[in-house]
């Protein structure tokens, strides 16, 4: 069966919506830039395609039939969705648009604060931050640069190591002051974030028992886990990269210097084709200045 075979031409839908709303073929014609006879003819064809009268014709005015009122709700909703879809395409048409994909926590904790620096370095760039979480495919997606957390960058991509991934305990200043020795963590409220490295790993790396470290709140989002730590709700075993700005401003404190390397890194990746664009290349070169290599 052919899909969408009952959908009339868009011009018919626009004429029908206007005529139904204005209760006049002539006023509808003025609104959409056609003659009254053209609109009237379109509505006859539309009624013939649907197999139902949509209008009651009363002198120079028209009134919707019951079927017409039902169909008008559908047509108006469809036209509004099409118009909304067109408006959503506006960023694609914007000169200088560079789509940067990054996970939400990286965007919130690292990239967002650096947008003014990016705009200064690449004035023509109009950043579009994508935090959708979709799998990256430069061949089929409108993504120019992606920031990913991986053991190795994908083969065939242009890649730039921003920082090696390490985790370390972080806490709000008041809570951090109560932690004089790593063993104190066994009695402290702990915050857990989903990931390959957990509290048992950090404590075990220091030769300490990890009994009971499963207690505490669990989070699937690194940004929210850090926010809970900032509120004093517990000690988070956090990415030093993501917590860096909070540590620099003093909202979070590292009570112990010990870190564990996760075996992963934060990489910027792109494709040779995307990097031929001057604005994309400008963002890429700026990211090179932000790379810290090992943190």
pLDDT, one tens digit for every residue, the chain (295 residues): 567 888 999 999 999 999 999 999 999 999 999 999 999 999 999 999 999 999 999 887 899 999 999 999 999 999 999 998 888 777 666 678 899 999 999 999 999 999 999 999 999 999 999 998 888 888 888 889 999 999 999 998 999 999 999 999 999 999 999 999 988 888 899 999 887 788 888 888 777 766 766 778 899 999 999 999 999 999 999 999 999 999 999 999 999 998 999 999 999 999 999 999 999 999 999 999 999 754 4
Question: Could you say which of 3.40.50.720, 3.40.190.290, 3.40.605.10, 3.40.640.10 is the CATH number of the domain covering 91-295?
Answer: 3.40.190.290
| pLDDT value, residue 41 | 96
Q: What pLDDT shows up at residue 175?
A: 96
**pLDDT score for 108:** 96
Note the CATH architecture for domain 10-88: Orthogonal Bundle (1.10)
What pLDDT is attached to residue 53?
95
pTM reported for the whole predicted model = 0.71
> Is the distance from CB of 158 to CB of 272 less than 8 angstroms?
yes
SS3 146: strand
Dihedral (Cα; 222, 136, 99, 241), 10-degree rounding: 30
Contact residues for 95 (Cβ-Cβ < 8 A; gap 6+): 124, 126
Which helix (H) or strand (E) is 105 found in, with range? helix 104-106
Q: Domain coordinates of the chain in residue numbers?
A: 10-88, 91-295
The two beta strands, 293-294 and 158-170, are parallel
Exposed (0-12), middle (13-18) or buried (19+): which is 4, by Cβ within 10 Å?
Answer: exposed
Q: Distance between CA 131 and CA 106 in Å, rounded?
A: 9
By three-state DSSP, how is residue 15 classified?
helix
């Amino acid at each position: 069966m052919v899909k969408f075979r009952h959908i009339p031409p868009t011009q018919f839908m626009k004429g029908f919506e206007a005529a139904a709303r204005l209760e006049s073929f002539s006023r509808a014609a003025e609104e959409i830039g056609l003659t009254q006879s053209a609109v009237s003819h379109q509505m006859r064809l539309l009624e013939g395609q649907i197999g139902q009268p949509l209008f009651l014709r009363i002198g120079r005015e028209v009134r919707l039939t019951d079927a017409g009122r039902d169909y008008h709700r559908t047509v108006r909703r469809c036209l509004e969705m099409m118009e909304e879809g067109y408006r959503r395409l506006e960023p694609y048409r914007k000169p200088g648009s560079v789509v940067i994909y990054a996970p939400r926590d990286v965007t919130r904790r690292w990239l967002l604060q650096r947008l003014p620096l990016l705009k200064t370095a690449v004035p023509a760039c109009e950043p579009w931050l994508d935090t959708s979480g979709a799998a990256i495919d430069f061949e089929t997606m409108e993504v120019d640069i992606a920031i990913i957390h991986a053991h190795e960058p994908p083969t065939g991509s242009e890649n730039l190591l921003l920082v090696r991934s390490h985790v370390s305990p972080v806490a709000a200043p008041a809570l951090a002051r109560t932690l004089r020795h790593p063993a104190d963590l066994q009695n402290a409220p702990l915050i857990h974030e989903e990931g390959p490295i957990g509290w048992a790993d950090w404590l075990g790396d220091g030769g300490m028992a990890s009994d009971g470290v499963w207690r505490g709140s669990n989070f699937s989002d690194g940004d929210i886990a850090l926010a809970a730590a900032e509120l004093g709700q517990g000690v988070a075993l956090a990415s030093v990269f993501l917590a860096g700005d909070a540590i620099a401003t003093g909202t979070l404190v590292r009570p112990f210097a010990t870190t564990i390397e996760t075996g992963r890194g934060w990489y910027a990746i792109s494709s040779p084709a995307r990097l031929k664009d001057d604005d994309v290349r400008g963002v890429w070169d700026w990211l090179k200045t932000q790379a810290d290599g090992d943190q």
